[in-house]
Structure 1
Amino acid sequence: MGHLPRGVLRPGPPPVTPTRPDTALGAPMLDRKPVQSWLTDMDGVLVHEGQPVPGAPEFVKRLRASGKPFLVLTNNSIYTPRDLQARLARMGLDVPEEAIWSSALATAQFLADQRPGGTAYVIGEAGLTTALHAVGYVLTDFAPDYVVLGETRTYSFEAITKAIRLINDGARFICTNPDVTGPSVEGALPAAGSVAAMISKATGIEPYFVGKPNPMMMRSALNTINAHSESTAMIGDRMDTDILCGLEAGLETILVLTGISTRAEAERYPYRPSRIVESVADLIDEI
């Protein structure tokens, strides 16, 4: 290397920019903005086995009084927001209909964006069919653009067979959520993810899942309340759906221990929530 002219300093190494913890692995973000919007899962966070989680009614009441935008999220596509509002009201949770965001609504919005005014063959209940009608979709079993699989209390072998044949004939395969089981008072129930696996095995076609942990569920929720990821927190009880989904969407993530995941189980994942609290009761004073 040649000599520099007298009085000219040789350039040193570039300055090192301080880095924050590795957020890709779920480490807490030290420079997050104060929380201005809230997203919260429903089952396991606000309600559990048909009963309100202690502190949940007070948490919702404080949210409403704060004026901050919020949404209650659920992967369950069976019910309409009105149905869910009534269900929550019976448990003392005063959640407005417009503050409920389901995988059925997210799926309908996704399809309306992808193929406006399209057609679909649907396996599901009122939550899903109502949402699709609301965005202008026609439900049909004649050469539909999509086969859309959601939750239902009674999966029909005839309907599953029809779905398989339509997918084999070229229909695109969409599923509201990947959950393989759902909760009930009697125990676990097979859910959409299990039926999707059956259809995939028969067709060789994997579905596109819209609900959690797809971060699209979070982004559609953020758009609904005009919120920003850097100032929004996601509260959930499952590391593999709620926390993963919130993390990938860039939200602050808060794991509560009133549902599926325990503190010990959370440590086994390669990503971490921003923090862990016992229940939403611990968050009331933060709103």
Structure 2
Amino acid sequence: MDRTTTLFVINQDTPDNVISEVADAAAEKQARLSCLLLGPAPPLPTYAYGVPPYGAMNIPPNWVKIVEKEQQALNHRVNEVEALLARSGPAGDVIGHLCATTDIKHLVGTRARVCDIAHIAPHLHDAPDIMREAAHGVLFRSPIGLMLNAAPYRPVSRVFVAWNSSDAAAKAVHAALPYLLAAQEVVIGCFDPVITADKEGADPGTDVAAWLSHRGCTVTVTQYPSGGREIAQCLQDRAKEGGADLLVMGAYGHTRMVQAVFGGTTRTLMEQTDLPVLLAH
């Protein structure tokens, strides 16, 4: 990950030590750190008078002052984060935005398009709306991968790849290629593979293993039965059993709406905090 650019999504509550740790690692790798600091925009308080279309909307006279106060607080935090980066020494920038939750995916996606990997500050697991929309911006509005539960510069020696021959899985492997090439061992894990010519082939996982082996990776292919258990839990168990430092997985193989309503593998892996995960869609 030398000389790459990482998008680091934070908010005003992101601890200084978390930012400094990522910045120190970026400086060591001669990487560029692009910090996107998201602040919640104050909700617009409006009051209606009369009956539409003859009524009118009234905005309180102190509304501008409320926004200015929030913007000043955000700017102050931007300056503090810039000072943290200056002490650590990596190249980079800090951009702050006051935004509604629905705008986060657009802002994150736009920044992610000119970065190599994205990382969301771990404490944002406690702000699920921000986490969800930031992840959406990376996965659906940019071509890069999303790293959760570990800084992108953290070295890995064993990587577990969840493989099912889907477009999302293939994009995840491509996004994770720098980590795969640096790892001592790569395990390709196929769960309940569909062994047909038009699905995952006669020997699922061997095609991606051959490609990675040619690139210089030490690769093992394993096919697992889920036994009716949730795939997300099977993935975590197998990765941890093998001592994996990183799980690589395609995100949202099913539609985002289905996963939001019924749950799914991607949602479960995004919510857990024990295992470093690299996702791509």
TM-score for the superposition, normalised by structure 2? 0.33
Q: Which has the higher contact order (CA 8 A, sep 6+)?
A: 1
Task: Choose between structure 1 and 2: higher helix proportion.
Answer: 2
Task: Choose between structure 1 and 2: higher strand proportion.
Answer: 2
